[in-house]
Amino acid sequence: MKNSYRNKEDIKLYDNSVLPKDLDKVGETPFMTEENVFPDILKNHMAPKNKLGYLVVRKGELNYVWEDEEEKVYTVDSNHPLVIYPERYHRVILTGAVEFKVEFYHYDDKMIVDKTALRPGENFIK
């Protein structure tokens, strides 16, 4: 599948955020592929309240977009996981064969901005 979301000059952009240390892991999705991905992950959504997501790719790669920075398309692969902060809309863009999951960590952040946001990861929190 040809990716229509690319950065200028087809240069891959990686997010260099590091998952904060000493966070408690509270759940994770099963590994998903391009064939069984949860459809809501491909839509505009947020991480579960007070949780950081950690997008981990085992095989292949995918793209990731923060809705407030749509001009930046991040590549996520096995060497470049991505930290997903709560209360920030985003979506995953599949670009081909991939195997990935999202881990969730408790994040003590008092700011809850949008209580009605779609948060497909909620079902994977313990």
Of 56 and 50, more confident: 56
How far from chain centre, in Å, is Cα 80?
12
Q: How far apart are CA 41 and CA 119, in angstroms?
A: 9
CB 84 within 8 A of CB 120: no
Percent of the chain at pLDDT > 70 equals 86
Domains identified in the chain and CATH numbers: 22-124 (2.60.120.10)
What are the DSSP calls for 18-65, one per residue?
A: -PPTTPPEEEEPPPEETTT--GGGGSSB-PPTTEEEEEEEEEEEEEEE
Amino acid 5: pLDDT: 52
- The pTM of the full predicted model, rounded to 2 decimals, is 0.81
- Kindly tell me if the per-residue pLDDT of 98 is higher than 60: yes
